[in-house]
Chain A
Amino acid sequence: MKNVLTIAGKELRSYFVSPIAYVVLTGFLLLGGWFFFNLLARFNFLLSMYTSLRNPEAMTRLNLNEFVIAPLLHNLSVVLVILVPVITMRSFAEEKRGGTYELLMTSPLSINAIVLGKFLGAFVFALLMVGLTAVYPLILMLYGNPEVGIVASGYLGLLLLATAFIAVGLLTSSFTENQIIAAVSCLVSLLLLYIISWPADTSGEVLGAILRYISLTEHFGEMVKGVIDTRDLFYFVSVIVLALFLTHRSVESIRWR
């Protein structure tokens, strides 16, 4: 466990001594802030419009959760699809390229500790990313009255999504010593997981159900709506565990290849 924490600490430090962390965080929050402010402005516009039209029915449907927080979280999830590969691309690939991989592999550290440590480091970074965006719902709670349960469930969903993305990113990074290939293959995998359910409605009962189940968006979408289902939690944990297991296998293979 101590080894895991040591590696996680080193990994996290390596993010912050290089400009990558700052560029990624700045970009993420710049986009997040832009989404948030514009969604809020649109909400205010709708509010004033319905008020002036005296449309009481529409007024009862206007709420911050569906009009601001849900679209914000969905947009952030798309940004994560693009940014997470940038964070994780270096984790194994850079070590291979830089020649520190052999050092790492011949050290007394177990492969479990290496993989878990790198995962933990990246996870803390993702926690920071998602955590910083919490300022938006905090602003809403300060000036308005959104449903807190839905906000909490949505943010849990975003964090699980980011964590699953990171696990996939570690896996693709462990395959190659080229960071671009690592990032692009991660991006493609995540996008595929994101959109794989698109033909689900028109592809028959069983296949449709499978495609929907595999897709990250379906599980994430439920949580954004305010529903936490043990099925969705289990799915996210499965993706994370599977990706880490395969990463472990991939890292281990260097010992006999």
Chain B
Amino acid sequence: MPRSNGLLGLIGVILLLFAGVTGFLTRGRSSFDLLYIGVHGLVGLFALIAYLSAGVENLRRFVGERSTKYGANMIVSSLLFVVILAALNYLSARNHHKFDLTEAHVFSLSPQSISVVKNLEKDLQIQAFVEGGINPELRDLLTGYGDQSAKLSYQMIDPDRQPELAERYKVSAYNTVRLEYGGESTTITQPNEENITNAIIKVTRTTKKTVCAIEGHGEPDTDELQDARGFAAVKNGLANENYEVKKILLASLEGVPGDCSVVLVAGPQKPYTEHEIKVLDEHLKKGGRAVFLIAPRSGEQFATMLSSWGIKLGNDVVVDQVVRLFQGPALGLAPLANTYAPHEITRDFKQRTIFPMTRSLQADTAGKKGLQVTELVKTSPSSWAETDLDGLFLRSEASLDPAADRKGPVAVAAIVEAKLKEMGSGDGEARLAVFGSVEFADNRNLEGTYYNRDLLLNTIDWLVGQSDLVSIRTKSVRASRVQFTQDQGTVIFYLSVLVIPELLLLAGLVVWWRRE
């Protein structure tokens, strides 16, 4: 076989190889890719054919040679070996076991998470919307979940490259994780093990919880989407967490319907009838759950009832004029709050919530048994509870009057746990939450800049007592220290940087010298 002919064959193979690799890497997306692949493929093929046809005789002889047989044998057996190894690796990757040598088992899921995942009955899909589709830590965490059950699968999504998915699932921030199980779905915005596990618990729970919004007194409409004062955002947020929101006209009912997990009393403009107040009170006394949003200058009839449950409604409006700095000339009627009581509702809460047009609340359990009241959210020390409402609303004036006004921080949200047995009215536990503001939860503020949504939804979760939610401490490699004196530091430097390499170098020199 002439040498140049052999070269032609070799060039053909190389060109075809480059065409193949380019096709694999670029998938022929642009016309240049196609040109490159096409030219290489054609020329390569031509060269190979030329080589083969020029020497059919040579080829026959070449094929007949012993070395060709051995060579082919070697290639085939090597390929077979690679295939077998790849298959074994696939199996080992599918059935693997992990040993976490960190002291706190940082890279292992907690037993709670494992049992939750192992109990999955249907397929659970997790979509993580992260910047650029890359978040190694979150991926490791989700892989940990995936390792526990074949029913759980996850996907990392770059919302900028797949905006249609982000739009469809209303994802507006990076690091949002969406879980879908059966027909249910939920999203979380701070993906860590605790939140993911609790989200799984939420979506896998089959019974729907119902929030009953009382209507008939000019309450904000839970179907009103356009109006900033509407409550559709509350409804959507709750629907996302697996709640159903139902409107009820309490005046026409004997009692609160049995399927109401939580009763929502949101900003009544007109007074409730005595019957309605009585029904609500009885509902609570039977271990019911309710949330009250009572704005200033409204719902005064609730004051008596709520005070029997340990909460005193202030007849005032909370003013915090620090806000003026950012909002121009204003009275400061939208105080921001970032002081939270330690409670499972506000655990890990570091963000601010806004309470526009809010009254103050006070725990008042004197002489009442079985009540545990927590002042959940407090405004800043620069705020105060303004009692001169005429001055405020007629003359647009507000100033701290130390005699009448309460100086901040003042509570604007509070929750009550009532042990009914100790109160002498039955068995079990009643829970209620009271907010001093209605606008706090309207369309504009619930989905706005602040964390009102998380606060309200966490509160409702707590009210319905989702006690199977677990708490998992975030784990990390334990802190460790090193301590040495200046002199010891010098020893370390000499030993690690100088002495050992020096000894090796000297040993080498000695060996070289002796051999020379």
- Of A59-67, A108-116, A187-195, the stretch lying at the interface with chain B is A59-67
Residues from 373 to 416 in B contacting A, C-beta threshold 8 Å: none
Residues from 147 to 189 in A contacting B, C-beta threshold 8 Å: 147, 149-150, 152-153
Q: Does A1 contact B (CB under 8 A)?
A: no
The answer to whether residues A135 and B92 also contact, given A143-B484, A238-B85, A256-B67 and a CB cut-off of 8 A, is: no
Q: Quick check: A201 and B78 within 8 Å, CB to CB?
A: no
Q: Quick check: A253 and B70 within 8 Å, CB to CB?
A: yes
Q: Considering only CB atoms, which chain B residue lies closest to A229 in the complex?
A: B98
Cβ contact of A147, chosen from B98, B103, B483, cutoff 8 A: B103
Q: A51 to nearest B CB, angstroms?
A: 10
**Which of chain A's residues have a CB closer than 8 A to the CB of B107?**
225-227
Q: Quick check: B508 and A201 within 8 Å, CB to CB?
A: no
Q: A256 to nearest B CB, angstroms?
A: 4
Bound-state Cα–Cα, A36 to B496, Å: 8
Q: Does A228 contact B (CB under 8 A)?
A: yes
Q: Quick check: B66 and A256 within 8 Å, CB to CB?
A: yes
Cβ contact of B477, chosen from A147, A152, A234, cutoff 8 A: A147
- Of A14-22, A81-89, A93-101, the stretch lying at the interface with chain B is A14-22
Cβ contact of B515, chosen from A17, A32, A40, A257, cutoff 8 A: A17
For chain B, what secondary structure do more than half of its interface residues adopt (helix, strand, loop), or is it mixed? helix
Q: A146 to nearest B CB, angstroms?
A: 5
Bound-state Cα–Cα, A70 to B348, Å: 30
Interface residues on B, range: 35 or more
Bound-state Cα–Cα, A245 to B505, Å: 35
Q: Quick check: B511 and A22 within 8 Å, CB to CB?
A: yes
Could you mark each residue 483-516 of chain B with 1 if its beta carbon is under 8 Å from any beta carbon of chain A, else 0? 1100010001101111011001101110110010
Q: A47 to nearest B CB, angstroms?
A: 7
Cβ contact of A230, chosen from B92, B102, B488, B508, cutoff 8 A: B92
**Which of chain B's residues have a CB closer than 8 A to the CB of A147?**
101-103, 477-478, 480
**Which of chain A's residues have a CB closer than 8 A to the CB of B492?**
37, 40, 139, 143
Q: Quick check: B481 and A150 within 8 Å, CB to CB?
A: no
For chain A, what secondary structure do more than half of its interface residues adopt (helix, strand, loop), or is it mixed? helix
**Which of chain B's residues have a CB closer than 8 A to the CB of A47?**
481-482
* Number of cross-chain contacts by CB at 8 Å: 168
Cβ contact of A64, chosen from B74, B78, B134, B480, cutoff 8 A: B480
Q: Quick check: A63 and B479 within 8 Å, CB to CB?
A: yes
Q: Quick check: B496 and A135 within 8 Å, CB to CB?
A: yes
The answer to whether residues A226 and B102 also contact, given A40-B482, A145-B481 and a CB cut-off of 8 A, is: yes
Q: Does A9 contact B (CB under 8 A)?
A: no
Q: Does B133 contact A (CB under 8 A)?
A: yes
Q: Quick check: A231 and B496 within 8 Å, CB to CB?
A: no
Q: Quick check: A205 and B488 within 8 Å, CB to CB?
A: no
Cβ contact of A144, chosen from B77, B102, B483, cutoff 8 A: B483
**Which of chain B's residues have a CB closer than 8 A to the CB of A132?**
500
Q: Quick check: B480 and A230 within 8 Å, CB to CB?
A: no
Q: Of residues A40, A229, A252, which shows the largest number of chain B Cβ atoms within 10 Å of its Cβ?
A: A229
Q: A156 to nearest B CB, angstroms?
A: 10
Q: Quick check: B511 and A29 within 8 Å, CB to CB?
A: no
Bound-state Cα–Cα, A16 to B507, Å: 10
Q: Considering only CB atoms, which chain B residue lies closest to A227 in the complex?
A: B107
Bound-state Cα–Cα, A238 to B86, Å: 9
Bound-state Cα–Cα, A29 to B500, Å: 7
The answer to whether residues A205 and B482 also contact, given A17-B515, A135-B496 and a CB cut-off of 8 A, is: no
Q: Quick check: B479 and A59 within 8 Å, CB to CB?
A: yes
Bound-state Cα–Cα, A199 to B92, Å: 24
Bound-state Cα–Cα, A64 to B484, Å: 14
Residues from 42 to 101 in B contacting A, C-beta threshold 8 Å: 66-67, 70-71, 74, 77-78, 81-82, 85, 88-89, 92-93, 96-101
